[in-house]
Structure 1
Amino acid sequence: MFGWEFPPHILGGLGTASYGLTQGMSMQEDMEITFCIPKPWGDEDQSFLKIIGMNSTPVVWRDVNWDYVNSRVGGYMNPQDYYELRDHIYADFNYLHTNDLGCIEFSGRYPDNLQEEINNYSIVAGVVARQQQYDIIHSHDWLTYPAGIHAKQISGKPLVIHVHATDFDRSRGNVNPTVYSIEKNGMDHADHIMCVSELTRQTVIHKYHQDPRKVTTVHNAVSPLSQEIMNIVPQKSKKEKIVTFLGRITMQKGPEYFVEAAAMVLHRTKNIRFVMAGNGDMMNQMISLVAERGIADRFHFPGFMKGKQVYEVLKASDVYIMPSVSEPFGISPLEAMQVSVPTIISKQSGCAEILDNCIKIDYWDIHAMADAIYSICTYPAMYEYLKTEGKREVDAIKWENVGYKVRSIYDNILQNYR
C-alpha cells in the first residue's frame, strides 16, 4: 500500500481511514500489509502491518555502516530493509538532492512543493516495487497514484486505487487541472477503483469517464474506542449546550453555513455556545463573519485538534454538525455518534448513505440547520433518541467487514488478471 499519512501523525480523515482499513484487513490471517509513507515518526502502531519510510529508502548508493543506519532509521524501520532496498536502486539519481544515506527527505505533510514530493515519492516507489514481495498494489488518494502506476509498470502486478476524495470535492468544482490529470491518469491505469461512497463513485464515472464495472463503493467504518478515550469524563455545563463543528475550515466543509445557522439559533435562545475546531484558509474569514453577526461572545475557535483532544471536544458537545458542501465520506460524524453525541450531517456527504439515526439537511438550508440544532438542544426526548440510537447504529459499522469486502475485490482482480 502507498499512503500519505498514518496515525498518530495525521492531518485529516485520510490517515484515520488508512489505519482503520489496514487494521480491519489484518484480521484475515493470510493478509500481509506493507504500508509506505513519506515520513514515519516512530510512534506508529506496527503490530498489524509493516511500515516502510520513503525517506529511508535509498535512491543513491552510500557506503554506510549498520550502526549508523540503525541510529537513523531504527526507530521505525528494520535497518536491514535499508540495505536490501539499496540493492534495488535502478537508475542514476545523483542529480537529486539526497542526504548522507542516499535518501530523499520528505516533509510528511502537504508543503508548497507538494508536486515535487509526489514525483519524488513515485521515484522511491520504484525501489520499493523492485525489492518487496507482493500480490497487489493499493494506492490511497491522488498523491500516491503516480507511485502505484510506477510499481505496476515495474512488477506487472495489478493496481487498485482508493478514492477518498476528488478535486471536485476539494474545490467546489473549481478544479485544478494538474491535480485532475494526476487523478485521471491513476484511474485510467488502475485495474480497479474503490470509492468511499456512491456519491464519489458517480463522480469518478461521470467526471473522470471510468467504466462503471471497474468502480466499486467501499464505505468507511469506525475503529473501536481505546480505553483512554472511553475514560475521558466530559466537561459539561448544566446551563449551556455546546454545538461543535470539527474539521478543516475550508470551502469544502461549509463553515459559513454553520456560522449563519448559529446566528439564527442565537436569535431564539442564548444558552448555547458554538465551537469551530480546526484550522484552514477560511478561518480569518469565519472570525470576521462571527463578529459581523454579533455572536462573538457565544463562539469559540480552539484551533486544530488531534488524537485525544478530538474526543475531549466531542464528549463535551451536545450536538455535532458536519455541514459539508461536498464530502466524499466523512468519518467524524461516526466518531461523534460513537461517543453518544447527537449528529447533524449534510445530505451532500457520503456517510449519509449509511447513517439513519442522525439528522440530514442540505448544506445550504441554514433554516433547517438552525431548526435541527435548536430542536436537539431544547427537546430532551429528541436528544436522548439520537444519542442512544446513533451510538447503537455506528457500533455495528466495523472496519473488519470493510476488510472482507476489499479482500473479495482483490480476489476477483487476481483471478481475472493476466
Structure 2
Amino acid sequence: MRVLMFGWEFPPHISGGLGTACYGLVQGMNHHNQEVIFVVPKLWGDEEPLADFVNASDVTIDYRERKFKKIWKNLTYLEVNSFLVPYLGQEEFKKYTDYAMHHRTDVDESIFSNKFEFSGKYGKNLMEEVSRYALVGAQIARDRSDFDIIHAHDWLAYPAGIAAKEISGKPLVVHVHATEYDRSGESVNRPVYEIERAGMHAADHIVAVSQLTKNICVRKYGVPAEKVTVLHNAVLDASIIKSAYQKKVPEKIVTFLGRITFQKGPEYFVEAAKKVIDRDPNVRFVMAGSGDLLNRMIDRVAELRMGTKFHFTGFLKGDDVDHMYAISDVYVMPSVSEPFGIAPLEAVRHNTPVIISKQSGVAEVLKNAIKVDFWDVDAMADAIFALLHYQSISKMFKELGGEELKKLKWEHVAAKLVTVYEKTLAQRS
C-alpha cells in the first residue's frame, strides 16, 4: 500500500510531540513494508530518509485550473493575519520565527504565485500557510497517482488532505493528535475549531490518539463514534536506557518537561512543589520547557520563596532531554487535557518513575504509574514525596513500567493503522 501523508513537521525539526509521533509512525510503517509519501511545508535536508519526502516549498501549482479555483474559493476564509500557533503562545513566537520575515505581504502578489515558500514554522501567518499548503496538497495529488489513500496529521494538514481528496477521489484518514479543546479549554479559537471540524467530517475515517480524544471528537465535533478508531502512541525503542550521566547536586530531582502552557498544567506542578519542599527541603524541582505561562511560573516561584530549589532550563532538545531524564528521580506530567503524552513513556525508558494526570491519554495504556487529578495538588505532592522516600515503591514502578514498554511499540501501532486503511478502502469500493 502507498500512502500520501501530510504533516507539518518531521524530526529533527520539531516543536512538540506531533513530529515525534509522525516519525514513529512512519518508521513503524516501514517495518510492515508500507510505502509513505510524506509531505511537509519545508524540508531542511537533514531528515532521516524513512519516506519519499516531498518539500511543499518546491511544488509549482497552477491555481487557474478549474478544480483549483473551486478549492481556492473554499479556502479564502483562512486568509487571516493572526497569531495562531499550535504549540507556542504569542510571547514565545519571536523566539522561533523571524518577525520581519512573517509580515503579511500583499495578498494579490503572495497568494497567486506559482510556487509558495513555506517557513516550516509556526509564525503569525500560520493560517495563510495552512491554506497555501492545501493548494499544494491538491497539486501533489493531481501530479502523483501512485498512492492508495491520504493521511493528514492534525488541523494544520487537514485542508491539504481535503484538497487532495477532492482532486484525486482517494479516501482520506485524518489523525487527531490534539484538539482545540485540549489547547484552549472551552475558550476555543473558532477558525481552528472549524478547520478541525471540517477535516473530521470530510474524512472517510478518523484516528484518535486516545479514548479521551475520541470522546471529544464525538461530543464536541459531532462525529459518529463508529467513524473513529483509537490508536495510542508508542515509543521508538522499548529498551531501558542506562545513562552514565550523573547529577551534580546531592538533592533528589523532580522534573516537569513540556510546554509551559495551560494545557500542560505547570501551575499545579509549582504548587505541589511548594508542599513537598515544606516537608523536605532536600529536593530540587526542575521545569524544562518554554511557553506563554513561563513568566507567570517564574513569578509564582518567587512569591513562594523557593527560587533556590526550583530551576527553569528553557526549551531542551536532543541529548539535553536525555540528560534531564537521567538525573531525575521523579517525572511529573500534570496535564489539564492531554490527548496522549509521549514524555512519560520516555521517562520510563530512562528508568524514572512517573506521576501522570488522570486527564491524559497515556493513562489509558501506562498502568504502572501513579495517576492523580491534575487539580489535586495535595495528592500530587503526596505521590512525589512517596516516590522520593520509599525506595521499594519507586523500584516497583521502575520495573513494572519497563515491562509495559515492550507492548508499546510503533510497529504495533502501524499494523493496526494498516488495518484501518484496508477497511476504509474496502468501504469505499
User: Structure 1 length normalisation: TM-score?
Assistant: 0.89
Could you tell me how far apart the structure 1 residues matched to 2:208 and 2:111 are?
A: 35
Structure-2 separation of matches of 1:10 and 1:268 = 38
Q: Say which is worse superposed, 18-27 or 258-267, in terms of deviation.
A: 18-27
Equivalent position of 1:328 in the other structure: 339
- Structure 1 residue identity aligned to 2:42: K
Deviations along 1:69-126, whole A, 9 cap, x unmatched? Answer: xxxxxxxxxxxxxxxxxx9x967x9944389x95211111111111101001101111
Amino acid at match of 1:59: I
Partner of 1:79: none
Q: Deviations over 1:131-169 (max 9, x none)?
A: 122000000000110000000000000000000000000
1: CA distance, partners of 2:203 / 2:61: 26
2:282 is the alignment partner of 1:280: no
- Structure 2 counterpart of 1:2, one-letter code: F
The equivalent of 1:219 in structure 2 is 232
In 1, distance between residues paired with 2:406 and 2:57? Answer: 37
Q: CA RMSD in A?
A: 2.3
Aligned match of 2:75: none
2:117 matched to 1:105? yes
Q: Secondary structure at the match of 1:33?
A: strand
| TM-score normalised by length of structure 2 | 0.86
Query: Which of 177, 180, 189 is equivalent to 2:202?
Result: 189
Report the equivalent of 1:391: 402
| Aligned equivalents of 2:109, 2:122: Cα separation in 1 | 20
Supply the AA of the counterpart residue of 1:190.
A
Structure 2's unaligned 5+ residue stretches are 73-106
**Is 1:265–1:370's contact at 8 Å kept on the other side of the alignment?**
yes
TM-fit CA distance, 1:238: 7.2
**Is the 1:339–1:391 Cα contact (8 Å) retained in structure 2?**
no
Q: How many residues align?
A: 388
Look up the equivalent residue of 2:137 and give its one-letter code.
Answer: A
Identity of matched residues, %: 52
Among 308, 319, 323, which residue is 1:297 paired with?
308
The answer for unaligned runs of 5 or more in structure 1 is 62-86
Distance 2:245 2:390 in 1: 21
- The reply on whether 1:8 has 2:25 as its aligned counterpart is no
8 A contact 1:243–1:272 mirrored in 2: yes
Report the CA distance shift for 1:128/1:96 in structure 2 as closer, same or farther (over 3 A).
Answer: farther
SS of the counterpart of 1:245?
strand
Please name the residue that 1:378 is paired with.
Answer: 389
1:182-208 Cα offsets, whole Å, 9 max, x none, are 000001100000000000001001110
For 2:245 and 2:324, locate their aligned partners in 1 and report how far apart those are by CA, in whole Å.
Answer: 8
Equivalence for 1:154: 167
Name the structure 1 match of 2:92: none
CA distance, structure 2, for counterparts of residue 103 and residue 232 of structure 1: 47
Q: Distance in 2 between matches of 1:346 and 1:35?
A: 33
Q: Is the 2:241–2:351 Cα contact (8 Å) retained in structure 1?
A: no
Q: Distance in 1 between matches of 2:389 and 2:336?
A: 27
Taking the aligned partners of 2:235 and 2:114, their CA distance within structure 1 comes to 39
Residue 24 of structure 1 corresponds to 28
* Distance in 1 of aligned mates of 2:350 and 2:312: 22
Tell me which of 307, 328, 335 is aligned to 2:318.
307
Report the Cα offset of residue 225 of structure 1.
7.0
